Amino acid sequence: MNTPEKRRSGGGGGGTNTASSGAGGSNSDNLPVMPPRAAMASTSSTGGDDSHNAGGTLLERKRKEKGGRDKDGQQQQQHRRQQHSEAAAAATATATAHVLREKDERIAYLEKEMAIMEREFHQELDKLSQAESETATFWQGKHSALNQQFLRTDTELRLLRAEVDVREAEREELRQGVEVLRRELQDRDDEIRRLRGQVRGLKDFVSTSTRTDDQTSDEVFGDGMTKLGNGLQNWVITNFRKAKLDLSKASDDTLAELSRLVPMYEELVHTSKVHLLQSIVSSILVDMVFNAYYVGLSEQETQHIQQMERLLSSLCSSTDVVNQWRSSTLALLRREAHHLHDNTDAFAEAVMARITHLLDSIITTSPSTSANSQQTTARDSALRVLVKNSIELARLLVVQKARLRVYMPSILPHQQVLFEPDTMEDMGGEEDEDDNLASREIGCVVFPGVIKHGDENGGHMQYRNVIVKARVLCSPEE
């Protein structure tokens, strides 16, 4: 290699120059003096000249001899010094040569090491160059892919922005269209309200001109009968829970009426007192209120209307016409119920009197006190509310075009009346299913049910719908 060779040649030259210059310096410092002979010849020649010329004395001759001996000693000393200097120069040259050889060997070793390091450096450089090339290729590919992705995303973004602009324009158009439609809708709503007002006015006119009936949904009757039955149960429990029944002091008329209302009362006196009392009150309400043609009419007025209904039935072939006439006629009477107010109050008092008289006849009473009087007054007031509610419900039932009849199963003495799951509901707390109760005998009817015959127009009388099931008490199993 150029650099080590130059270093090597330069070093060698420097060492040689140093040796030569060192030798030269030593020679220049220790130059040999003139040989003694020459000095002596020179001296003798000089002295001959002096002796011939001046004739020197002995003393001068001795001095000269002594000076010559001194010069010879100096010359020998100088010669020894020169030999010593030459030996030293030779040793120095030998040491210099040895140092130069060591330096050459060191230079050769270093050149070898440098060659190895240079090869390794080139190998590492090649590896690093290859890795850098691969890394550059990888990142170039990444950059290219990202650049392409960026271009695609930028293109999509531009397209989306363009689409957004289009949508904004469409939205603005739609907003304008919505405003137009909203104004049109407002105009239509105003027109609809105006037409509805006209239709409502026409309906009111037609309703007030031709309407003679009030039709009510079945749910109203179901809720009314349920509330009435619950009210009766609460009234009995509140006022007769602690009362004792005693039939030994009852009159024959009382026992006869009790037997007619509840034929199996003797079996219920000691086992089902509350149910027996409910059955008595329910039977009286059905007999006097719900079985009446229309509560508040006198017997003569009732006969006249019933005769007219029978006449229409004989003249018309369809029952719906007769039912519509009956419904319209009784609805007119219901709207003019204030004319029947006095008759209605008298009728309600008669119903209450019959109930209280019968119950007081079979219940053992304590001596009359002010507390008992207050209890009796509260009992009668609550009963009056029940009776009036029954009257209103009965009137509402009879003004319907369909025939709604209160269903009170008839129980005859010494005859079995079995439980009917379709029309009856057991109040005895039995855990058996209705199908298992079908073979059980009924002890009493606690509260009646309601059955509807026909449709809303009074026709199709063959249709039957059980609106409310009758509450009954089944006899215990033997």
Q: What pLDDT digit, counting tens, does each position of 292-302 carry?
A: 998 888 889 88
Q: Is residue 376 part of a domain?
A: yes
Establish if 107 belongs to a structural domain. yes
Give the separation between CA 368 and CA 226, rounded to whole angstroms. Answer: 35
Query: What value, to the nearest 5°, has the Cα angle with vertex 160 and ends 154 and 164?
Result: 145
What is d(CA 452, CA 433) in angstroms, rounded to the nearest whole number? Answer: 25
Residues 120 and 229 grouped into a single domain:
no
Burial 382-391 (b: 16+ CB within 10 A, else e): bbeebbbbbb
- Would you place residue 433 in the very low, low, confident or very high pLDDT band (cuts 50, 70, 90)? low
Q: Are residues 90 and 217 in the same domain?
A: no
pLDDT per residue over 59-116, tens digit each?
Answer: 777 777 777 677 777 888 888 888 888 888 888 989 999 999 999 999 999 999 999 9
In a domain, 163, yes or no: no
Domain identity same for 226 and 131: no
pLDDT for 265 beyond 80: yes
Quick check: is 181 in a domain? no
Q: Is the pLDDT assigned to residue 49 strictly greater than 90?
A: no
Kindly calculate the radius of gyration of the chain based on its CA atoms and give it in whole angstroms. 75
Written as six digits, the tokens of 167 are 């949508």
- Is 200 part of a structural domain of the chain? no
Instruction: Look at residue 209 in the predicted model and tell me its pLDDT.
Output: 47
Paired with 473 in beta bridges are 444
Instruction: Choose the final residue of a domain: 110, 136, 162.
Output: 136
Q: How many alpha carbons lie under 13 Å from residue 192 in its C-beta half-sphere? A: 6
Over residues 231-245, the pLDDT tens digits come to: 999 999 998 888 888
Do 131 and 231 lie in one domain? The reply is: no
Asked if 365 and 463 sit in the same domain, the reply is yes
Domain shared by 99 and 226, yes or no: no
123: containing domain: 2-136
Length of the chain: 478
Q: Are residues 271 and 131 in the same domain?
A: no
Total domain count for the chain? 2
Say yes or no: 450 and 326 in one domain: yes
Mean pLDDT value of segment 188-199 = 86
Final residue of a domain: which of 116, 136, 156?
A: 136
Is residue 245 domain-shared with residue 388, that is, in the same domain?
yes
Average pLDDT rounded to a whole number, residues 435-461: 84
Does a structural domain hold residue 106?
yes
pLDDT on residue 21: 38
403-407 vs 449-453, strand pairing mode:
antiparallel
Q: 24 with 109, same domain? A: yes
What confidence score (pLDDT) does residue 100 get?
A: 92
- Taking a C-beta distance cutoff of 8 angstroms, is the pair 36, 146 a contact? no
* The pLDDT value given to residue 151: 93
Sorting pLDDT into bands at 50, 70 and 90, what band is 321? confident
- Phi first, then psi, for residue 409 (nearest 5°) are -55, 135
More confident residue, 104 or 270: 104
- Single-letter amino acid code for the residue at 340: L
Task: Say whether both 399 and 315 belong to one domain.
Answer: yes
**Cβ contact 426:474 at 8 Å:** yes
- Is residue 118 one of the residues assigned to a domain? yes
Last residue of one domain, picked from the residues 77, 103, 136: 136
- Tell me if 183 is assigned to some domain: no
